[in-house]
């Protein structure tokens, strides 16, 4: 399209959007005025002025809004990247670290809180993400920002909080020539020319403060016209494996590539894109497709109360102020009436006869000790004081009820924000009390959580376009191989409570202390003293950590010295046990040698016995010869005598053999017992010595 066609479409689209959103803007502006303290309309102020009364404001709305906004600031959420599958945990950790860097460097958490506060006050704000190339012309720096309710207008028919069904968004801001030129490199001359030509304030964005100052400085209108569209892009599908990828080349290369790989099939699928037309004054400066590499809007809506099914754009989006305006107005009126009645008691007025006092002006004065001089001829009843009206007691109760109504209607109470009379209440009980009492405001915090999740995902997509050198410099380590894979962005960005504020650190420390006490304290708790020291919200914590490190180092050195001493004691006891065992083994060897000597002696005795037996046989033979010379009677006597000697000899020999065998078995048993007892006794003594050496270390 030509430049003139785009500018014309921009004008027409603005009018179409404005016809629907027109009822919303004056109500949002009134909500902001009530928050700032302008809670009387022009007619009421004029009437009070004519009656000589002041338009008093007792702003309860600001307190309630600041309570909710302050609670969010004290309990900010941190964005953490978790992988769909735990196999790529390294890449997820690196993304978390880079996302934290981007949010901190670009003041992301600050603008998230400011955008949430703007939604509480007016109902509708935009949380922006953009890339600043002024300091880093290659990669750019991620920055965040906020657009107030009067700085943008959207397609009136969107229903999704991610703007996925929003066809267009138009934004405007008034900038100086230098500011606009810094955002559009290479087009300074064109912008300076537009600045010299000037531009009268048009009928667009009439609720911007610049539009309300006719005599202000001349700025240029910097307009951004975002338009969402769809286009068909070719996809290559592998029919064998089912894998697919988007083709980013031209059609000729696509045809050649498919001809080389017959298993590939070309499939067309719709893909979303975003065109951003930048218009300065009424001149189109440039058109960018998928700005910052995003095929989605570089901003997310932050809303208060959002009911997309409502057919009234005055009610579709509301702030938290909207429901408090009526009770706030009544509270101001009743309080003003009470003060007026109290003031009238000081000087309710006089009923005076003409010429009854010397100075009639003295009747209008209310100071203490004032004297009113009467005329000489004045009668006693010529001057009478008007009795003041009494303050109705029910007025105070009614005023108290009005004050309580504002808190109840807004869903705000002290317990919701951690205020408790018990200073010793545990962190767990405090969180339970807050969770139970903040239910009325849960939809606001859910919208906040969802908006932060969306803006974090956009930041991750921009981070993936950075060069590896910048990423490695931030991480101080090599980038994961899967980091630049387009398919690796299938992550869930879970927004969970992180320790970003002092209050959260204190609550976290309280929870650790409670868990430490509940799980057995120093004896068996899973929470160690080192964990408590690390989480303690202390001032001068660096010195505290250094002292802890020194104490741990000295304890380790002392433990090492004690361990060396115990090892030396154990070694000496082992050497002593070894010497004792050697001594006992030597004693056993000595007993064994003695046993062998005894066995040899017994054998010698048996040999002597055998020799004696042989000698006896010889003698027997000799005797038989002699006996043959004797008669029969003498032969029988001699034979009996020989048999008796032989029997006694056999008995003696058997008795000696039995004694030797028994003695040999006894000695051999003692030797074997000493051998088996020596290693067991050495092991037992070593085991008994080890605990005795460890006792000082445990002490």
Angle at 438 between CA 433 and CA 440, to 5 degrees: 145
Asked whether the predicted pLDDT for residue 346 surpasses 50, the reply is: yes
Q: Which helix (H) or strand (E) holds 172?
A: strand 168-175
SS3 of residue 357 by DSSP: strand
Mean pLDDT (whole number) for 533-552: 72
Cβ(115)–Cβ(151) below 8 Å: no
- The pTM for the full model equals 0.69
Asked whether the predicted pLDDT for residue 673 surpasses 70, the reply is: no
Angle at 164 between CA 160 and CA 168, to 5 degrees: 105
Q: Among the ranges 105-119, 177-191, 533-547, 664-678, which has the highest mean pLDDT value?
A: 105-119
Mean pLDDT (whole number) for 162-191: 92
Between strands 264-280 and 244-246, the pairing is unpaired
User: Mean pLDDT across the chain, nearest whole number?
Assistant: 79
Mean pLDDT (whole number) for 283-297: 93
Tokens linked to 351: 């009923």
C-alpha pair distances (Å), 318 with each of 118, 303, 341: 11, 8, 37
Q: Give the separation between CA 696 and CA 689, rounded to whole angstroms.
A: 13
Tokens linked to 314: 């005055």
Cβ(126)–Cβ(144) below 8 Å: no
Would you place residue 371 in the very low, low, confident or very high pLDDT band (cuts 50, 70, 90)? Answer: low
What pLDDT, on the 0 to 100 scale, is given for residue 688? 46
Q: Percent of the chain scored above 90 by pLDDT?
A: 30
Tokens linked to 629: 């010379």
Asked whether the predicted pLDDT for residue 426 surpasses 80, the reply is: no
- Higher local confidence (pLDDT), 641 or 683: 641
Q: Among the ranges 465-474, 499-508, 572-581, which has the highest mean pLDDT value?
A: 465-474
List the end-to-end C-alpha distance of the chain, in Å, as a whole number: 86
Q: What is the per-residue pLDDT across 69-101, written as a single tens digit (0 to 9) for each? A: 988 888 888 888 877 765 577 888 888 889 989
Q: Give the separation between CA 625 and CA 248, rounded to whole angstroms.
A: 137
Smallest CA-to-CA distance from 511 within 497, 532, 482 is with 532
C-alpha pair distances (Å), 198 with each of 176, 282, 307: 11, 11, 41
Mean pLDDT (whole number) for 4-15: 94
Residue 336 CA neighbour count, 13 Å, CB half: 20
Would you place residue 631 in the very low, low, confident or very high pLDDT band (cuts 50, 70, 90)? Answer: low
Q: What is the per-residue pLDDT across 139-164, written as a single tens digit (0 to 9) for each? A: 999 999 999 999 999 999 999 999 99
Longest dimension (CA), the chain: 206
Asked whether the predicted pLDDT for residue 361 surpasses 60, the reply is: yes
Tokens linked to 470: 């910048």
SS3 of residue 303 by DSSP: strand
Residue partners of 392: CB distance under 8 A and separation at least 6: none
Angle at 676 between CA 674 and CA 680, to 5 degrees: 110
**Burial level of 495, CB count in 10 A (0-12/13-18/19+)?**
middle
What pLDDT, on the 0 to 100 scale, is given for residue 318? 95
Asked whether the predicted pLDDT for residue 545 surpasses 80, the reply is: no
* Ramachandran sector of residue 454 (left: φ over 0; alpha: ψ -120 to 50; beta: rest): alpha
Tokens linked to 672: 């074997």
SS3 letters for 484-496?
A: CCHHHHCEEEEEE
SS3 of residue 632 by DSSP: helix
Cβ(301)–Cβ(451) below 8 Å: yes
Q: Give the separation between CA 190 and CA 33, rounded to whole angstroms.
A: 39
Q: Give the separation between CA 44 and CA 38, rounded to whole angstroms.
A: 12
Outline where DSSP puts E strands in 39-151.
77-83, 124-132, 141-147
Outline where DSSP puts E strands in 281-425.
283-289, 299-303, 305-306, 317-318, 350-352, 383-385
Q: What is the per-residue pLDDT across 93-119, written as a single tens digit (0 to 9) for each? A: 888 889 989 999 999 999 999 999 999
Q: Give the separation between CA 586 and CA 493, rounded to whole angstroms.
A: 77
> What size, in residues, is the chain?
699
Q: Give the separation between CA 409 and CA 323, rounded to whole angstroms.
A: 7
The phi, psi pair for 284, rounded to 5°, reads: -75, 120
Q: Among the ranges 238-242, 364-368, 636-640, which has the highest mean pLDDT value?
A: 238-242
What pLDDT, on the 0 to 100 scale, is given for residue 75? 82
CB atoms within 10 A of CB 202: 14
Would you place residue 258 in the very low, low, confident or very high pLDDT band (cuts 50, 70, 90)? Answer: confident
Q: Give the separation between CA 257 and CA 264, rounded to whole angstroms.
A: 9
Would you place residue 667 in the very low, low, confident or very high pLDDT band (cuts 50, 70, 90)? Answer: low
SS3 of residue 468 by DSSP: helix
SS3 letters for 326-355?
A: HHHHHHHHHHHHHHHHHHHHHCCCEEECCC
Q: What is the per-residue pLDDT across 201-229, written as a single tens digit (0 to 9) for each? A: 788 998 998 888 777 677 889 999 999 99
Asked whether the predicted pLDDT for residue 186 surpasses 70, the reply is: yes
What DSSP letter does each residue of 228-259 carry, written as one string? EEEEEEEEEEETTT--EEE--S-HHHHHHHHH
Outline where DSSP puts E strands in 12-123.
77-83
Asked whether the predicted pLDDT for residue 612 surpasses 70, the reply is: no
Instruction: Give me the helix-helix angle, 442-463 and 60-74, nearest 10°.
Output: 40
Angle at 90 between CA 86 and CA 92, to 5 degrees: 70
What pLDDT, on the 0 to 100 scale, is given for residue 349? 66
Cβ(452)–Cβ(498) below 8 Å: no
SS3 of residue 325 by DSSP: helix
Smallest CA-to-CA distance from 257 within 244, 247, 270 is with 247
Q: Give the separation between CA 543 and CA 265, rounded to whole angstroms.
A: 66
- Higher local confidence (pLDDT), 132 or 496: 132
- The label of the residue with tokens 């914590």 reads 541
């Amino acid at each position: 399209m030509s430049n003139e066609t785009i500018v014309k479409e921009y004008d027409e689209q603005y009018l179409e959007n404005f016809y629907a959103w027109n009822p919303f803007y004056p109500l949002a502006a009134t909500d902001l005025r009530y928050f700032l303290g302008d809670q009387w309309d022009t007619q009421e102020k004029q009437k009070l002025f004519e009656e000589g009364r002041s338009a008093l404001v007792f702003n309860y709305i600001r307190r309630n809004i600041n309570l909710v906004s302050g609670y969010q600031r004290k309990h900010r959420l941190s964005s953490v990247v978790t992988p769909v599958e735990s196999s790529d945990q390294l890449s997820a950790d690196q993304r978390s670290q880079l996302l934290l860097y981007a949010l901190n460097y670009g003041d992301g958490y600050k603008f998230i809180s400011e955008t949430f506060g703007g939604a509480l006050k007016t109902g509708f704000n935009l949380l922006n993400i953009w890339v600043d190339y002024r300091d880093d012309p290659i990669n750019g720096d991620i920055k965040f920002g906020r657009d107030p309710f009067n700085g943008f207008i959207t397609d009136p028919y969107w229903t999704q909080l991610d703007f996925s069904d929003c066809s267009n968004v138009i934004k405007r801001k008034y900038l100086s020539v230098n500011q606009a030129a810094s955002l559009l490199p290479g087009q300074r001359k064109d912008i300076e020319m537009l600045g010299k030509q000037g531009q009268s304030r048009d009928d667009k964005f009439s609720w911007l403060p610049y539009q309300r100052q006719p005599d202000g400085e001349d700025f240029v209108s910097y307009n951004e016209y975002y338009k969402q569209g769809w286009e068909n892009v070719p996809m290559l599908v592998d029919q064998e494996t089912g894998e697919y990828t988007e083709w980013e080349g031209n059609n000729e290369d696509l045809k050649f590539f498919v001809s080389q790989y017959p298993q590939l099939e070309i499939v067309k699928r719709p893909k979303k894109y975003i065109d951003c037309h930048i218009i300065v004054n009424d001149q189109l400066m440039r058109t960018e497709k998928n700005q910052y590499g995003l095929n989605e809007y570089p901003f997310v809506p932050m809303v208060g109360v959002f009911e997309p099914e409502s057919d009234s754009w005055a009610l579709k989006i509301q702030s938290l102020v909207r429901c408090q305006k009526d009770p706030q107005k009544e509270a101001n009126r009743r309080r003003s009436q009470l003060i007026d009645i109290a003031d009238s008691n000081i000087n309710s007025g006089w009923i005076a006869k003409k010429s009854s006092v010397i100075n009639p002006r003295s009747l209008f004065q209310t100071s203490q000790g004032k004297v009113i001089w009467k005329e000489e001829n004045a009668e006693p009843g010529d001057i009478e004081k008007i009795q003041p009206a009494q303050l109705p007691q029910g007025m105070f109760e009614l005023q108290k009820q009005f004050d309580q109504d504002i808190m109840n209607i807004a869903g705000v109470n002290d317990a919701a924000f951690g205020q408790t009379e018990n200073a010793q209440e545990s962190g767990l009980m405090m969180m339970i009390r807050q969770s139970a009492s903040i239910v009325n405001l849960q939809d606001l915090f859910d919208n906040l959580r969802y908006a932060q999740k969306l803006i974090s995902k956009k930041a991750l997509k921009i981070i993936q376009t950075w060069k590896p050198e910048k990423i490695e410099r931030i991480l101080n380590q090599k980038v994961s191989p899967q980091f630049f894979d387009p398919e690796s962005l299938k992550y869930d960005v879970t927004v969970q409570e992180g320790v970003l504020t002092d209050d959260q650190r204190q609550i976290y420390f309280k929870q650790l202390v409670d868990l430490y006490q509940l799980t057995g304290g120093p004896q068996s708790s899973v929470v160690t003293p080192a964990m408590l020291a690390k989480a303690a919200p202390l001032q001068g914590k660096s010195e505290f950590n250094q002292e802890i490190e020194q104490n741990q180092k000295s304890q380790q050195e002392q433990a090492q010295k004690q361990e060396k001493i115990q090892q030396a004691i154990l070694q000496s006891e082992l050497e002593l046990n070894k010497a004792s065992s050697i001594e006992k083994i030597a004693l056993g060897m000595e007993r064994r040698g003695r046993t062998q000597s005894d066995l040899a002696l017994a054998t010698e005795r048996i040999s002597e016995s055998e020799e004696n037996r042989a000698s006896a046989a010889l003698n027997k033979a000799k005797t038989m010869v002699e006996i043959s010379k004797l008669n029969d009677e003498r032969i029988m006597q001699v034979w009996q005598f020989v048999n008796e000697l032989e029997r006694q000899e056999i008995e003696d020999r058997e008795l000696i053999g039995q004694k030797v065998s028994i003695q040999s078995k006894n000695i051999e048993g003692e030797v074997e017992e000493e051998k088996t007892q020596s290693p067991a006794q050495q092991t037992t003594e070593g085991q008994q010595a080890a605990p005795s050496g460890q006792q000082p270390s445990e002490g």
